[in-house]
Structure 1
Amino acid sequence: MTPSLAGMTRNQIRDSLIATGLVDEAKAKMRSGQIWRWVYQYGITDFAAMTDISKELRERLPEHFTLARPRITDRQVSVDGTRKYLIELSPGVECETVFIPGVGRSGALCVSSQVGCTLNCTFCHTGTQALVRNLTAAEIVQQVLIAKDDLAEWPSRLEDRQITNVVFMGMGEPLYNLDHVSDAIDVISDGEGIGIGRRRITVSTSGVVPKIEELGARTNTMLAISLHATNDGLRDELVPLNRKYPIAELMDAIRAYPELSNSKRVTFEYVMLKGVNDSPGEAKALVRLLQGIPSKINLIPFNPWPGSPYECSDWATIERFADIVNKAGYASPIRTPRGRDILAACGQLRSESVKQRASEKRRLEREATQP
């Protein structure tokens, strides 16, 4: 299979040019830098468009490489403008990526780091799909390229862009794939390419304690914690990883995250489950738990999915919870559900890798309704 340069790191592009004999080592850094800018600043998909590279090299590059992206097998647009992409990475292996307008300075792209997940969080649809495999750094970066293609967001520029933030909150646990996540962040944040700054990239973890400080040291990104409970008994049920890394250990690891400050706060994600974790007592316990940690709390109305065992808390209950946390001095925005109608909201992502592809399913449904 011909490798794609779209998704490679700087070093991988340089080393690949040398390995194929297309460029000698003395010129490899310069040539790879040129290709880098065409791929990540301009989003080109045709080597012939690389006008500052010699015609001879442009003609030889397609013999060894492609600029192709993975195939979009399904694209859905919500009534609220949210876009969900089902992306085929290899035969039978798919992931989901979601663009959410109106988040951050303009919009956020939620990317996946694994196909499936091993954590089995009971409120999360992705947790019902067994882990298929980790994504490579290139496959993570290609999710960004695909979304930028669809939004006609080339060339990458600082003004008027729609994707201003990237969040690793899609399928999978990013800290179980930290090497590839770190390389992908290097590509996404590079100022000569896509140029989304590290302070606008957030990595969410369910609490892989030994990797949290390493994440900060390697990536300097923002940290989010999928918390959802304030005591070990309940969190053991909602987030089974807590049995391995209980809350006290998790809090210690968070406090050690590099450069924590009021300008670099930890985001705690707290899904609101009716009658489970939404009482005033839980809100007060949350305030006590986070004492001394620069924090904000995202209260997430539970997004239902087929067969889910939970219900969303009543709106009045969520507002009462938020009021207690706010009065304690913590920002606690209630996240507006986005993309619920296309199962693109938080906790709803689940690829088609272990079931019929969406397109095939719709075809069969249409045939079944025809006379």
Structure 2
Amino acid sequence: MRVWIDESNATFSSATQFAILQGMSRRPRKPQFPLPWNSLSPSAWIGVLSEAGLRTTQARGAVKTVSTATFRQHDDWQSTLARAPKVFRQRVQEFILPPVRLELCERVTAEDRTSRLLYRTADGHLIETVIIPSERGGAAGRTTVCVSSQIGCGRRCVFCETGRLGLIRQLSAAEIVDQFHQAVMLWDAERGQAPKVTNVVFMGMGEPLDNLHEVLRAIEVMTDDLSFGLSAKRITVSTVGVAPKIGEFLRSTRANLAVSLNAPDDERRSALMPVNKRCSMADLRRVLIDKTPAGRDVLFEYILFDRVNDSLDDAELLGAWLQDIPARLNLIPANPGPDPKLRQPEPERVWAFQKLLLDRGVRVMVRHPHGRDVGGACGQLAGAARERLDRLQHTRSPGEL
């Protein structure tokens, strides 16, 4: 199913909002007010308004009212302000801008109900988000939203469509939060008896640790009890292995860390993932052993490519590398990507690889693809859909999209 969204019904961020968001990306530790409402957590806004002269009880009451209206009831900003306490409205122009709203351009739904959402930012760039329903229903099921953290990516992994774009710019916390917020609204409107959204993965476009401060700020919004109230343990941030940022990430949040590994030795990992030329597997391993707090583990993602990294000898090397790291491992049979030579192995090779690791005591499972038929699976974002929309933009007027 494909749904095109008429631009005449879209809500755009103002030029002022965009300029401020760009400033936040350059100076993430010292944001300058006013800021979009969804760029800071409700708890942070309580602190801002308290420092501005409101009593703490006034600030908390006002922020709770506005948070409920925007994050839970999904009201528009003008309706929210009309019902907000007077003390809040008096501070709005000085400190708070309307929430950033991305423009939803396209939604494509796969046979398994996975939906790929294509958004346009205020400055005209395209980013993608994926809604991934669980195969199980009831209490055991879950629905996950996969969000992007950058426009493009500078890490240029050879199997990833996004890497072909290069890095265009960072996404702001507000742009990350709105991806999630709109996905929740869409899913709640149609899910029926399917599980509600409970999980978030930063596995969309971009390298999250290259935009760490905005990612951490977005996580704070998502986990605040007055906004979405997600558990940090249900949020996973995936990195190609930016070792200098791993310690700061683990100190700053209880969200899960996932490391995309994809090879058992430096030679092949460097060929697949250029980041390895700057940070070897030994360096990455040392950081993970030294910086992972007690009681936490690290999820490793290993994409299996036929006759490239999927032999039993490769499994032995991988198992040895994982020793002494509190590790969980997801094996991911390769999805179609930019390099046709990187193909999915036969199922027998996947199961044999998994069995050897299980025999070596590694906690390992095979992750089956979701949304592959609509370009929403691992490594596929920013591919054919982006090219298709770009062609349409050159051949149709905006009102025809």
TM-score tier, shorter chain, comes to 0.7 to 0.9
Counting only pairs closer than 5 Å after superposition, residues 203-214 of structure 1 correspond to structure 2 as: 203-214=237-248
The 1:172–1:211 alpha-carbon spacing in structure 2 relative to 1, beyond 3 Å, is: same
1:89 aligns with 2:118: no
User: Please, which of 175, 179, 182 is the counterpart of residue 139 of structure 1?
Assistant: 175
Which TM-score applies when normalising by structure 1?
Answer: 0.86
Determine the structure 2 residue equivalent to 1:175: 209
Deviations 1:99-145 (A, max 9, x none): 11117840111111101001111111111111110111111111110
Structure 2 counterpart of 1:269: 301
The CA distance in 2 between the partners of 1:10 and 1:282, in whole Å, is: 47
Which of residues 58, 62, 79 is equivalent to 1:31? 62
Give the corresponding residue for 2:147. 111
Tell me the CA shift for residue 54 of structure 1. Answer: 3.9
Q: Is the CA contact (8 Å cut-off) linking 1:267 and 1:295 kept in structure 2?
A: yes
RMSD: 3.1
Q: Which moved more, 1:301-310 or 1:318-327?
A: 301-310
**Code of the aligned partner of 2:68:** R
Aligned to 1:350: 382
Structure 1 296/73 Cα, relative in aligned 2: closer, same or farther at 3 Å?
same
Which among 69, 75, 90 is matched to residue 107 of structure 2? 75
SS at 1:225 equivalent: strand
Give the count of matched residue pairs: 355
**Are the counterparts in 1 of residues 41 and 224 from structure 2 also a CA contact under 8 Å?**
no
Give the Cα–Cα distance (whole angstroms) in 1 for the partners of residues 59 and 48 of structure 2.
9
Q: From the superposition, tell whether residues 342 and 356 of structure 1 become closer, same or farther in structure 2 (CA, over 3 Å).
A: closer
Write the mapping of 1:181-220 to structure 2, written as runs, cut at 5 A.
181-220=215-254
Question: TM-score, normalization: structure 2?
Answer: 0.80
2:197 & 2:394 partners in 1: Cα distance? 30
2:23 is equivalent to residue 8 of structure 1: no
- Which aligned pairs between 1:116-127 and structure 2 lie closer than 5 A? 116-127=152-163
Q: Distance in 2 between matches of 1:167 and 1:239?
A: 21
Cα separation, 2, equivalents of 1:94 and 1:42: 27
Q: CA deviation at 1:28?
A: 3.9
Identity between Structure 1 and Structure 2 (%): 33
* Residues 355 and 304 of structure 1, relative CA distance in 2, 3 Å threshold: closer
**Contact kept? 1:74, 1:359, Cα under 8 Å:** no
Distance 1:55 1:28 in 2: 11
CA-CA distance at 1:257 after TM superposition: 3.2
Specify the code of the residue in structure 2 equivalent to 1:231: D
Instruction: Tell me how far 1:93 sits from its aligned partner.
Output: 1.0
Quote the Cα distance in structure 2 between the aligned partners of 1:325 and 1:362. Answer: 50
SS for the counterpart of 2:167 is coil
Gap change, CA 1:14 and 1:191, over 3 Å in 2: closer
CA distance in 2, matches of 1:268, 1:78: 26
**Alpha-carbon offset, residue 15 of structure 1:** 8.0
Structure 1 or 2: more helix by fraction: 2
Aligned amino acid, residue 325 of structure 1: L
| Counterpart mapping for 1:29-68 below 5 A | 29-48=60-79, 53-54=84-85, 65-67=97-99
**AA matched with 2:356:** I
